[in-house]
Structure formats: structure tokens, C-alpha cells
Amino acid sequence: MTQYHKEEDIIEDISGGEFERTPVPKSKLKSWKSFLGMYAGEHAAGTEFVIGPLFLTAGVSAFDLIIGLLIGNLLAVLSWRFLTAEIAVKNRLTLYFQLEKICGKNLVTGYNLANGILFCFLAGSMITVSATAVGIPFNMPMPKLTDTMPNGVSWIIIVLAIGTVISLIAARGYDTVAKAANWMSPVIVLAFVVCGIVALKQLGVTSFSEFWDIWEEGRAPFPGQIKYTFWHVVIWSWFANAAMHIGMSDLSVFRFAKKASSGWTTAAGMYVGHYMAWISAALLYAVYIQSPEAQAFLSSGEAPPVAPGPLAYNAIGIFGIIAVVLAGWTTANPTIYRAGLAFQAIFPKLSTAKVTIIAGSLATIAGLFPAFAMKLLGFVALYGFILAPFGAIIVFEHFFSEKAGVIKNYAEVANIKFNTAVILAWGISFGLFYFISLQFDVFLSFVTFPAWLLCGVLFLAFSKYYQKKQYA
């Protein structure tokens, strides 16, 4: 899901301050094998324990889920391969430096602030995930699907404790984070596989037709949820990582790739994490909603809670609790670190440790509010919708600037700190399609790609206008 990369040798270069403002030299390039392990680990993490069950609450059918995810994840892989990786190996620059060349330093500062805050919210949702596991031995009441506020003192204490530990570890640096994440990732993937197998057994599934019947032709969504169709699944799964591929965040990763073909390795993340893990997590929830407790919620018109800890514990016991804690940890910890780096770009005089603690504090506060985790499908859609159009600026400049007669890296060439063409293109595309989404109740992921396209086209048009005006 989001950019929480776990390949130590790559991240050491990215986060250690090397080549942040220069192209990566040939001696530091990595083979496709490095990216394969990284993406497989990155996308089988805490978010998967929440997203899988949320698909069930949206009333998806078997066809919509299984085939929709197959196609949506393929579109994501193609986006990484032919957009992100292609541009990354040509320029070998980080997203932030590439944007600075085009947009200007002051405008990039605003982008970093938005990026950092959204990272904190994502990390907070993963602290929520871990808290549902830690709270089991204490008989802590689990947050409901419709909960937005903390549901008790025990919840607050556990979230604060987890957030403090995660923040302190993240502040020690990415070397520690990456080593731990690399060790934990295989354990988490194994847990998803075992959870899926056990859940199938608990559901009495002995054939593919019985597996298919778990979702059947779809059901009415749970109270407070919207109905997901085939296109909801396809488009949402395509843009679950919109900020990373069409939004170009992973330029910072693939700039280390020897060839653009390394972009194909993202399939490991999509089909291990965003396919197998999501379906396994959905199966855990399918077991739970057959329980008397869940049926009581439904009978009273309420949605049963989506609490990853109890779901995994019900399937594989203590190993399930450990897996959920580790999954939340491996997502939240590096995400907090990434948020700290984004904030550090704004406040360069603060040490990495200090800005990471600040980011961790914001994430912990966010983790107190279950809404970020319980509404993760909507939050991830919003996250991609906000950040993806900035990637269109890079993509359209890279592929079409010559035909459009636009000067590349205009902020750098003209020595300006704020490129008006960029903010106008983003503001108009964001405002127009967000209005359409709200006014006509259009699923936000449906308008992400149109907003991305419009932003790119407007950027070229405004750039040509302002550059012509400047040099007239």
C-alpha cells in the first residue's frame, strides 16, 4: 500500500542523504532481485488486515472481488512499469528533487507538508490495527466499523503505548527499521497464507465452487458502507497506490534500478499482498460474520467491527496476535520515518530524530481515532486523489514537453521558487473533480484518473502560456 519500503540496501541510500540532489551513479544501481523482495514485503502488511474485510462490508460479489482485483492490480503493475520505472531510470532523481526542478522550492514545501500529514494518518491507522491485537489479553472493547472516537480508557492507553514505542524505534534511524522489517515480512506473509487456509477450513470449504459461494452474487453493504461493484474493485485496487505509481513517489526507489523492466517486480507486491492477503483477510471476516456476536450486530442494524487482532486470533491463536502486531509495526514504523523526512525538508534545522518523534506523535494521535482504519478504503482513495496529479506534472513534462513546446525543469531554468502553472493545473483539476465527487456522489477513485489527465494537460497549457509571456 503506501511507500513503506523494506529493502535495506536501497533505503540506506535513499534515506541516508546520498544522491538526493544528483542522479544515482551506475556503481549504485540495483538488480531486479532487490526490488522483488522489497515490494513483496511492502504490500503484505497491516493495511491488508483491514482492507480485505472492508471489501466484504461493501457487499462485493465473488466475480467482482476475484476478477476485479486481478485486473486492478495488473493496471497498477503496468503503471509502475511504463510510467514510474521508465521515467526513474531516465532521470535517476528523487520525486522531491524532480518536483523542485519543475515546481520550485516553495511549492514543493507545500507538497511535502501534505505528504507528511497523510503519511501520519496512514501510520495512525496501523497503530489502530496493532492495538486491536495487543488489547485481546486485556479484554479491551474493539472499535466498531462506525466508530470515530476512542471507545474507552484501555484503548487510549494501549494506542499511546504502541505509538510511543514505534516512534522511538523509528527515531533511531531507518537502518534499524529496515532490518526488522526484512525479518518480519516472511512471517507476516506466512501468517496470511495460514489464516486463509484455516479460515477456509472453518467455513467448511472443500471446492472452488464453495469458495466462490462465500461472496456469491454479492450482498447489500453493511450499515454505513457503500456498495462496491466490479468497477469499484478494479479502479480502487488500481489506485490504492496511486501516489506511488502515477503519483511518481516511487521515482525515489526505481532511480536505483538498472533497467525499467525492474518495474515488473511490483507484481510480487500486488499479487502477494493486494490479492492473496486481501482475500485471506476477507476470509477471516467471513468466518466472523457467521458468529452469534456478528449476527447480533447485524440484527440490531449495526455493522460488525473489523478488528484484525481478534480475527487473526480466532484463526491461528497467539501467532495471529503476533502477526497483526508485526504487520501494523512494519507499516507504521517506516511510514512515520518517511513522514519525518518530509517534515525535515520543511524544517531542515531539526534533526531527523526530532522530526520523526513529531511525526510519530501526530500518528499516535491519529491512531486514537478508529475512523482512519475503519474508513481505510475511503482514506486511501482520498490520499491518492490528492497526491497523484502531481505525478501527472512529471509524466506529461517527460513525454510531451517537446511536442508542446514547453521548457523542461522550468523552475530550475528560470530560477523561480513557485511555478504558477503547476498550482493552477493541480488546483483546477482537484477542485473540479472533487466537486463532481461530492455533488453527484461519485466514488472518489472514479475521478482520480480524469483529474490526473486534466492536471497534466493543464500543466502543459499553462506552462506554454507563462513561458511564452516570460520570454516574449
SS3 annotation, 122-185: HHHHHHHHHHHHHCHHHCCCCCCCCCCCCCCHHHHHHHHHHHHHHHHHHHCCHHHHHHHHHHHH
pLDDT of 373 strictly over 80: yes
**Span 373-389, mean pLDDT?**
88
Using alpha carbons only, what angle is made at residue 86 by residues 80 and 88, rounded to the nearest 5 degrees?
A: 90
Backbone angles phi, psi at 184, to 5 degrees: -80, -30
C-alpha–C-alpha distance, residues 35 and 201, integer Å = 34
Q: What is the predicted pLDDT for the residue at 17?
A: 46
CA atoms of 78 and 241, how far apart (whole Å): 12
pLDDT at 301: 81
385-to-241, 338, 380, 447, 454 alpha-carbon distances in Å: 10, 19, 9, 8, 13
Alpha-carbon distance 311 to 352, whole Å? 36
Q: Which of 240-244, 365-369, 402-406, 449-453 has the highest mean pLDDT?
A: 449-453
Arithmetic mean of pLDDT over the chain? 86
Q: Residue 68's pLDDT is what?
A: 96
- Span 46-59, mean pLDDT? 86
Query: Does residue 366 carry a pLDDT above 70?
Result: yes
pLDDT at position 408 is: 94
What is the C-alpha separation between 238 and 273, in angstroms, rounded? 13
Q: 353: which 3 cell numbers?
A: 530524530
Element (H, E) at 57: helix 46-57
**DSSP designation for 442:** -
Q: Which domains does the chain have, with CATH numbers?
A: 8-378 (1.10.4160.10)
Per-residue pLDDT at 8: 41
Which of the two residues, 302 and 241, has the higher pLDDT score?
A: 241
pTM over 0.75: yes
pLDDT given for residue 455 in this prediction:
98
What average pLDDT score do residues 390-411 get?
95
Task: Give me the pLDDT at residue 290, please.
Answer: 87
Q: Has residue 180 got a pLDDT over 70?
A: no
CB atoms within 10 A of CB 291: 12
- Mean pLDDT on 364-386: 88
- Is pLDDT at 7 greater than 60 in this prediction? no
* pLDDT higher than threshold 60 for residue 1: no
pLDDT score recorded for residue 179:
64
Residue, of 449 and 45, whose pLDDT is higher: 449
211: exposed, middle or buried (C-beta count within 10 Å: 0-12, 13-18, 19+)? middle
pLDDT for 361 equals: 93
pLDDT value of residue 5: 40
Q: In this predicted model, what pLDDT tens digit does every residue of 270-299 receive, in sequence order?
A: 999 899 999 999 999 999 888 888 888 888
Query: Span 51-65, mean pLDDT?
Result: 90
Over residues 160-176, mean pLDDT: 78
Q: What DSSP string describes 59-100?
A: T--HHHHHHHHHHHHHHHHHHIIIIIHHHHHHH---HHHHHH
- Looking at this protein, which amino acid is placed at residue 375? K
| 30 bridge partner residues | 257
Which letter does DSSP use for residue 390 in this model? H
Smallest CA-to-CA distance from 146 within 221, 201, 84 is with 221
* pLDDT score recorded for residue 9: 45
Mean of pLDDT values over 456-469:
93
* pLDDT score for 11: 40
Whether pLDDT at 181 is above 80:
no
**pLDDT digit string, tens, across residues 183-211:** 777 888 888 999 999 999 999 999 999 99
Measured CA to CA, the distance from residue 374 to residue 217 in angstroms comes to 24
Please determine, for residue 456, whether its predicted confidence score (pLDDT) is greater than 80. Answer: yes
Q: What is the mean pLDDT of residues 345-373?
A: 86
